[in-house]
Amino acid sequence: MPPPNNNEADSSETVFGEIVRGTISADVVYQDELVTAFRDIQPRAPVHILIVPNKTIRTMDDVKQEDEATLGRMLRIAADIARNEGLGKNGYRLIINCKEHGGQEVYHLHMHIVGGTRLGRMVAQ
């Protein structure tokens, strides 16, 4: 895996930025120059992986045109990871929570890959 291209912390860095830079540990399943994927510390399904941009983008509301390649990479790699995790046949769910109403807890953009079981309805009634 090539290393990420951002080796310096920025002022809005969260725990996910530290995982990207390798200063705190995580079970990293994929990393390239744009994105990093690692297992969620508190999995809600048999497979629960987070994929994040290496650069700090706080929320979906902060995505800019210059981030298109990074977001495209997140989606393509998510599909590759899901397939590698054995989720290709039965499927899975990709989730991006945004800000308070979306239930976002960590303010470093991330996409959840969840699967390995039937997940039920998309939004609780």
Enzyme catalytic residues: 110
DSSP at 39: E
Compute the Cα dihedral for 24, 25, 28, 30 and give only its sign.
positive
Closer of 103 and 120 to ligand 5GP (Cβ): 103
* Min separation Cβ 31 and ligand 5GP, Å: 14
Residue 113 CB, shortest distance to ligand 5GP, in Å, is 11
* Sheet strand arrangement including 35-39: 28-31, 35-39, 47-53, 111-115, 92-95
Residue 97 CB neighbours (<10 A): 17
The smaller minimum CB distance to ligand 5GP, of residues 41 and 75, is found at 41
Which residues lie near ligand 5GP (CB under 6 A)?
15, 26, 38, 40-42, 50, 97, 103-106
